[in-house]
Chains A and B, each alone.
Chain A
Amino acid sequence: MRRLRVILAILVCKAARWGLRVLGRGGTSVPGKLALRVCPDLLGALGRQVYTIVITGTNGKTTSARMLEQCLENGAIPAFANRSGANLLPGITAEFVAHATISGKMRLGHAIIECDEAAFRLAGPYLDAKVVLVTNVFRDQLDRFGEITHTLNSIRAGIEYSPNATVCINADCALCVGMVQGLPNPIRYFGVETALFDDGEDGMAEMARCPACSTAVVYDYKTYGHLGGYGCPDCAFTRPKADVAVTAVLEELPDTVRVEVQAGGERRHMTINLPGAYNIYNAAGVIAVAEVLNLGMSVTAAALAEFRGGFGRMERLNIGDVTVRMILVKNPIGCSQVLRYLGAMQAPMTLVICLNDRSGDGADVSWIWDVDAEILGQMGERLHTVYCSGIRADEVAVWMKYAGVDEGKIQVEHDTDKLLESVASSSVPVYVMPTYTAMLEVREKLAKQYGLSQFWE
């Protein structure tokens, strides 16, 4: 009876997906929902057959998943991954169904599942994950309550539903480390043991309090946000020793970064095929997971050097002679990191900021004011123009003005077509920082106007 339900649910899901595709629409949410209605335990029935790696946390989930996908591919481990946008329960279910036979057998042995903390809590019982990677926990504007405690509790619940999982935790994130205290799971820590910037502490005061006694933790060093080497002044709580540690940043280039990594008793140099401090953390987390999978450091190193960033993660294209790079921004800490990276570039640039306030972006745009944007005001001649666009273009313009950007450089352009014309005629490289739905819009226009149907990837 149960088997029949599983088969029926799979048929429904596959048929719905096929039907949507015939209608020229994608999407996994509706097929997944229908399937779950037929068989609520469908994800459990399929999930139990697979070695599942869950990636959760605030920032870096998608990039970490792409890195890990490449690692598994290079290690000849057949795996599938859910794509961005398919990270809620129905979407995850549909992704499993896509890789199952009609009779309910999974075709691939490994799954890389990226999901937010709320989805992890829901999907946890069905997935029986073998590895859980928690990238970091920051405040996100989509977390409408601003309650980090709520986020942490959800992740912990997800892990409690995953008794067979090895948990890879960012040692530099006191919130994450506090969150896993007392869990029976094996824990592997990753972290960065070198300053990532030489300009000292950044202005954003993210809360980090001791999980045991609520005293504010004190830092030996900070990497960014509340990440760094810390300890509680009042009790024994302290940063755990990292099993995978980035010990030095050797070279930073516009599109890559070279680091020294210590893991499994060896120290080696690695190239990460994406720039920026946050990607160093993503790589460290992935190395920790790869160690759990026994992939071997050389396989992992090769994968990190060649993987391609995901949707909106530093994608690059050329319009005529202009190089355009697109970097998705979604919360203050991620955006601060991107601006820091841009501020360090020696070559002149044009910047485009597209801020929307639809539900996919977060209705509350006040988060931009938590970004350390003053760095743009200090760029001088290197910053040619800042185009402010998206639904809340006017808000961006005010933000730029108060960040100290010369008003003569601030251009408000509500119209995406006109914006792209200006971008195409830029004399210097262009960096586009859109929020999620703004990114979709810019992509679509680029595809239409410049006939670049598959320009990224």
Chain B
Amino acid sequence: MELNICHLYPDLLNLYGDRGNVVTLARRCEMRGIEVTVTGAPLGERVNLADFDLLFLGGGQDAEQGVLLDELHNWRGAEVKAAIEDGAVTLAICGGYQLLGRSYKTWDGKEMDCAGALDVISVGQKERMIGDYMFQWDEPGAPIHIVGFENHSAKTYLGNGVTPFGRVLAGHGNNGEDGTEGARYHNVFGTYSHGPLLPKNPKLADWLLRLALERKYGSAELESLDDTLEEAANAFMVARLANE
């Protein structure tokens, strides 16, 4: 078996250790003998997104998003949207999550169109939402506590075309108002969780891998791994945030 991962904009969307997510996906494949490739698609570099099983977008600096928006509007946005509609497993963090949405309005009222691949809008605020946070993810049946670190100035609101990724247990999540965190649509997982997200949420990492394998090969059995260290890191933060 083989999985191909595309890291979109590793040159621009690379804040807060987000590359740790790609490392985690790749290593968890290797540990199971699944072949894996990671391809970067920086600004201006065209790749055929249909060749990939997993797409990843990280967070970035506000200042750099202008050039990125141009490219999204010109061609990349449509390509990403097509891949998502085709069922590509996609993980988008913070800035990447916002960019997949419909629009982004700055705190002083400037509105920018984004990729339009996810039915969410984001509205910049003057106050940032920063800190360790935790949300409950119910999709796998038994609820799972996802821990991470959020650092965003925009509030994101979900439209009817998406469902929340999780329910906030500690911290802000999408907007600090409606208790939702992130967005789910087809095989897209949008979230504010840096940290990075996947190393200490191994069940989520495997969920993404399984989705990608199922899409590619019809069915997939993932060999279970020894996640003692990963679960300890998760449990430590769950306990700490529960006591706050």
**Minimal beta-carbon separation of A331 from chain B (angstroms):** 12
Residues of A within 8 A of B230 (CB): 398, 401
| A370 CA to B14 CA, complexed, in Å | 9
Q: Is the CB of B130 within 8 A of A144?
A: yes
Indicate whether A346 reaches chain B with its CB closer than 8 angstroms.
Answer: no
Residue of A nearest to B195 (CB): A366
| A145 CA to B15 CA, complexed, in Å | 10
| A205 CA to B131 CA, complexed, in Å | 25
User: Which segment of A146-154, A177-185, A281-289 sits at the interface?
Assistant: A146-154
Residue of B nearest to A203 (CB): B19
Q: Is the CB of A147 within 8 A of B233?
A: no
Q: Is the CB of B128 within 8 A of A367?
A: no
Q: Is the CB of B17 within 8 A of A366?
A: yes
Q: Is the CB of A145 within 8 A of B196?
A: no
Q: Is the CB of A207 within 8 A of B151?
A: no
A146 with B17, Cβ < 8 A, contacts A207-B64, A407-B229 known: no
| A149 CA to B232 CA, complexed, in Å | 37
Residues of B within 8 A of A369 (CB): 17-20, 23, 196, 199
A367 with B17, Cβ < 8 A, contacts A148-B61, A149-B63, A214-B67 known: yes
Contact of B229 among A149, A216, A410 (CB under 8 A): A410
Residues of B within 8 A of A197 (CB): none
Query: Could you give, for residues 381-414 of chain A, a 1 whenever the CB lies within 8 Å of some chain B CB and a 0 otherwise?
Result: 0000000000010110111011000010010100
A399 with B61, Cβ < 8 A, contacts A366-B16, A366-B20, A394-B232 known: no
A144 with B233, Cβ < 8 A, contacts A214-B67, A368-B17 known: no
Count chain B CB atoms within 10 A of each CB in A149, A214, A369 and give the residue with the most: A369
Contact of A145 among B64, B128, B199, B232 (CB under 8 A): B128
B1-47 CB contacts (< 8 Å) to partner A: 10-12, 14-20, 23-24, 27, 43
On chain A, the number of residues with a Cβ less than 8 Å from chain B's Cβ atoms is: 30
Looking at chain B's contact residues, is the secondary structure mostly helix, strand, loop, or mixed?
A: mixed
Contact of A395 among B61, B62, B200 (CB under 8 A): B200
Q: Is the CB of B16 within 8 A of A216?
A: no
Indicate whether B236 reaches chain A with its CB closer than 8 angstroms.
Answer: yes
Indicate whether B79 reaches chain A with its CB closer than 8 angstroms.
Answer: no
Query: Could you give, for residues 185-227 of chain A, a 1 whenever the CB lies within 8 Å of some chain B CB and a 0 otherwise?
Result: 0000000000000000000010100000010100000000000
A363 with B128, Cβ < 8 A, contacts A148-B61, A402-B20 known: no
A207 with B132, Cβ < 8 A, contacts A147-B63, A395-B233 known: no
Residue of A nearest to B66 (CB): A214
Residues of A within 8 A of B132 (CB): 363
The residues of B with any CB-CB pair to A shorter than 8 Å are 10-12, 14-20, 23-24, 27, 43, 61-64, 67, 128, 130-132, 149, 151, 194-196, 199-200, 226, 229-230, 232-233, 235-236
The residues of A with any CB-CB pair to B shorter than 8 Å are 139, 144-149, 205, 207, 214, 216, 363-370, 392, 394-395, 397-399, 401-402, 407, 410, 412
7 nearest interchain CB pairs? A369-B17, A369-B20, A366-B17, A394-B233, A366-B16, A394-B232, A397-B229
Please name 27 pairs of A and B residues whose Cβ atoms are closer than 8 Å in the assembled complex, sorted by A. Answer: A139-B15, A144-B151, A145-B128, A146-B61, A148-B63, A149-B63, A205-B10, A207-B11, A207-B12, A214-B67, A363-B130, A364-B149, A366-B196, A369-B19, A369-B196, A370-B14, A392-B236, A394-B233, A399-B199, A401-B229, A401-B230, A402-B23, A402-B27, A402-B199, A407-B226, A407-B229, A412-B232
